[in-house]
Amino acid sequence: MEKYGRVAVLMGGWSNEREISLKSGAEVLAAMQRLHIDAVPIDVDKNILTTLQHAKIDRVFNMLHGRIGEDGVIQGALELMGLPYTGSGVLASALAMDKQRTKEVWLAKGLPTPRYLMLDDETDFALVATDIDFPCAVKPVNEGSSIGISKVDNEKDLEKAYISAKQLDKQVMMEQWVRGKEYTATILGDMALPLICLETPRQFYDYAAKYSEDSTQYFCPCGLDSKTERHLQTLARQAFEAIGARDWGRVDMMVDEDGRPWLIELNTLPGMTDHSLVPMAAKAAGISFDELVLAILDLSMCAK
């Protein structure tokens, strides 16, 4: 397909999500090869700009998960080079990677997201333990794939969870735990694809549940009535648009035991592995993996 020119599939990198990025990139590359697109795999290192120039690239399909690739850094570099790329731009990528800033935008827009507090070395853990009920989640603010997240059931484990998260990020968040069911909504262009309901025997949908455990169950149809599903799809689109995200992404949310939805996270560069949620949602909508890859690539043809 000559209209795309030479397409670089960026993958790998040096974030904590490197291995998942390599898997996602390999799946996307294989789809492009089946579609007869001139695609070049690039395992990203710190010479990436020189590599792109020498490879005479016309367009980029970004499959870099985590920092550098998902936080606005590579997006800014590609903007300077004048290279069209898939996914959200600089600002939305940076905002969505930062869980605190994402929440601040959602709250300013009146969108529901669980209460949170920021933790640091000066935090009085006994005091903050009175502000948010247990259990709670302690998270590195700038990591993806649930890396570094702990479920904390009592005050005595709170500081330990903070110290663990701090090894990955100097910014750490304590967030109210939501008891209920977890759903995810894929955004593709102007569509919200069918919701997926996730169930895992683990404490929560953590890294292992996402990428290696076969015990995780995915339900699509999600089990909700059509009116409720449409409401959650609308909420997901509002959350996506509030951040300024574009083209494609995934919004994760919980529905509590009283039926209230809570926005948890926006992923502007979701996984495309055989365990990933976006391809599952696309399949439920009648979109094959190859068609999904082509749809995302087509969105990069739009004016940025």
Please name every residue paired with 173 in a beta bridge, in sequence order, or none if there are none. 118, 139
187, 229, 268 from 248: Cα distances, Å:
5, 19, 7
Report the DSSP pairing between strands 248-256 and 180-188: antiparallel
Structure tokens at 92: 């939305």
- Written as one letter, the residue type at 128 is V
- Give per-residue burial for 21-44: e unless 16+ CB within 10 Å, then b: bbbbbbbbbbbbeeeebebbbbeb
The set of catalytic residues is: 17, 145, 211, 250, 252, 265, 267, 271
Closest CA to 251 of 137, 106, 63, 68: 106
Count, residues in the chain: 304
Do 10 and 64 meet the contact criterion of CB atoms below 8 Å apart?
yes
113, 191, 234 from 105: Cα distances, Å:
10, 22, 17
Rounded Cα–Cα distance for residues 26 and 10 (Å): 10
Do 182 and 200 meet the contact criterion of CB atoms below 8 Å apart?
no
